[in-house]
Amino acid sequence: MTKILPFKAVRPQRAKAGLVATKSFEDYTEAEIRAILQYNPYSFLHILNPGYKFQHEITGGQRFQMVKNRYLEFKEENSFIKDEKPAYYLYKIVSRESSCCGIIAAASAEDYENNLIKKHEDTIAHRETLFKDYLKVVGFNTEPVLLTYPDNSKINDVIAQVMATRAEYEFATANREIHYLWKIDEEELLEQIKEEFEQMPHLYIADGHHRSASSYLLAQESKAANANHTGKEAYNYFLSYLISESNLKIHEFSRLVTDLNGHTKEEFLIQLDEYFRIENHGMEVYKPMQKHHFNMYLDGEFYSLYLRKTNYEFGDSLSKLDPYILYKKVLQPILGIEDLRNDKRISYIHGKNDLIEIKTRIDKGEFAVGFGMLPLSIKEIKETADEGLTMPPKSTYIEPKLLSGLTIYEFEIN
């Protein structure tokens, strides 16, 4: 039984929504950030980059406090309003290729603790703590954790009913997406949504493992510091975007490695031959068509690598995942990469980017070899989570990627 609650969002005035909303900070180039900060006074980037006001780069705890200061200024200038009644928020994104729709709500940190919200990816402790400290100072969530659930006809009916009404927000972005947001605050609809999620035994984190872990840490710390803790405090929940499994778009990450760990090209290929049948495709671009097949670009040529299943033992769900197979049979033993998160010899490119980018970066000499694979399925992700296992980092690139600043979840930390 999962607890998904409506909340009173802080959000932009209708006329300013498209100007306030922003992608994640990391998704912009430095030049794009400078241009937005210079020409758009309403952008949420002014809050995330508070030092711009003083033309000074600010880090650490001082930056956290200034993020809060900029946020309070936006509220004082009436760029933001706060809803008077708790609500769910229906958020739809339409691109040239596809569309998706889900519900923004408050998810339970207790459900995260009790594994009712299941995880499939490892987190880094210092990043969890850093973001927990950030949340404690600023007092709000603005980037939802992406949670997924099995397709549900009753929730679909509610979504269809709400979408038949006028959207609270409707605006286009420079990458030719159209964003819609509806507020759901009718008691009957609120109860229908709440009841449907209460009947679900589990939800799964699709994207946002560090955000959910940090929110859980904050809830634990706040609970310990509050002698009058009831469990109903806002810090017991975190901002989430709930989307059905059929609405998810899962892409793979390709791996790029700077060198061959002291091996010549010939020695490297001979070692690969123990576990893979290798075919040289020359300049013909090759992309895998089935599981346990990999593509490789090395020294100006494309290769296909087919796992020799007679020489590999499948066990739990993790052992069947292509990112894990590549790590255990190539990256770790041959290329000497133990720490996939922190080793500077390895980089990642998500599968939305063309294989030609991998070729270009290797041809430039930035890397020596690159590997690609098919994306994982939602079934594989859920099986791994159900077995309590964690995938290698950068195993999935999952969409949708939401804009920040449209629905802000506030909590008070005393």
What's the pLDDT tens digit per position in 95-152?
A: 888 899 999 999 999 999 999 999 998 787 888 999 999 999 999 999 999 999 999 9
The CA–CA distances, whole Å, from 357 to 147, 362, 364, 373 equal 30, 9, 11, 15
Q: Are residues 202 and 132 in the same domain?
A: yes
In a domain, 244, yes or no: yes
* Domain of residue 355, residue span: 253-374
Burial 384-395, CB ≥16 within 10 A → b, else e = bbeeebbbbbbb
In a domain, 388, yes or no: no
> Interior CA angle at 135 toward 134 and 141, to 5°?
130
Q: Hey, which bits of 327-377 come out as E strands?
A: 346-350, 369-372
Mean pLDDT calculated for residue range 331-337: 97
| Helix or strand run (H / E) with residue 68 | helix 60-76
CA separation for the pair 322, 66 (Å, rounded): 43
Q: Are residues 95 and 147 in the same domain?
A: yes
In a domain, 395, yes or no: no
Q: Are residues 237 and 291 in the same domain?
A: no
Q: Are residues 226 and 287 in the same domain?
A: no
pLDDT (0 to 100) of residue 24: 82
In a domain, 394, yes or no: no
Is the peptide bond prior to 400 cis by the omega test (within 30 degrees of 0)? yes
355-404 pLDDT per residue, tens: 888 999 999 999 999 999 999 999 999 999 999 999 998 899 898 989 99
pLDDT (0 to 100) of residue 54: 65
Mean pLDDT calculated for residue range 242-247: 96
Q: Are residues 87 and 132 in the same domain?
A: yes
Domain count along the chain: 2
Mean pLDDT calculated for residue range 39-48: 93
Q: Residue with structure tokens 């241009």?
A: 35
Mean pLDDT calculated for residue range 324-343: 94
pLDDT (0 to 100) of residue 25: 76
Q: Are residues 322 and 219 in the same domain?
A: no
Q: Are residues 335 and 404 in the same domain?
A: no
In a domain, 330, yes or no: yes
pLDDT (0 to 100) of residue 230: 92
Contacts (Cβ under 8 Å, ≥6 apart) of 178: 93, 94, 170, 171, 172
- DSSP letter for 229, please: -
In a domain, 171, yes or no: yes
In a domain, 379, yes or no: no
Q: Are residues 74 and 137 in the same domain?
A: yes
> Interior CA angle at 61 toward 57 and 64, to 5°?
75
Q: Are residues 213 and 199 in the same domain?
A: yes
Which amino acid does the sequence have at 150? P
Q: Hey, which bits of 245-396 come out as E strands?
A: 249-251, 253-257, 276-282, 293-298, 301-307, 346-350, 369-372
Which amino acid does the sequence have at 132? K
Task: State the CB neighbour count (10 A cutoff) for residue 279.
Answer: 11
Helix (H, G, I), strand (E, B) or coil at 297: strand
414 pLDDT more than 60: no
User: By the 8 A CB rule, do 348 and 254 touch?
Assistant: yes
Q: Are residues 172 and 309 in the same domain?
A: no
In a domain, 383, yes or no: no
Q: Name the pairing type of β-strands 140-141 and 203-207.
A: unpaired
Q: Are residues 19 and 120 in the same domain?
A: yes
Query: Where does the pLDDT of residue 206 fall: very low under 50, low under 70, confident under 90, or very high at 90 and above?
Result: very high
238 pLDDT more than 70: yes
Which amino acid does the sequence have at 305? L
Q: Name the pairing type of β-strands 237-244 and 145-149.
A: parallel
pLDDT (0 to 100) of residue 407: 97
341 pLDDT more than 90: no
Give the pTM: 0.90
Q: Are residues 307 and 164 in the same domain?
A: no
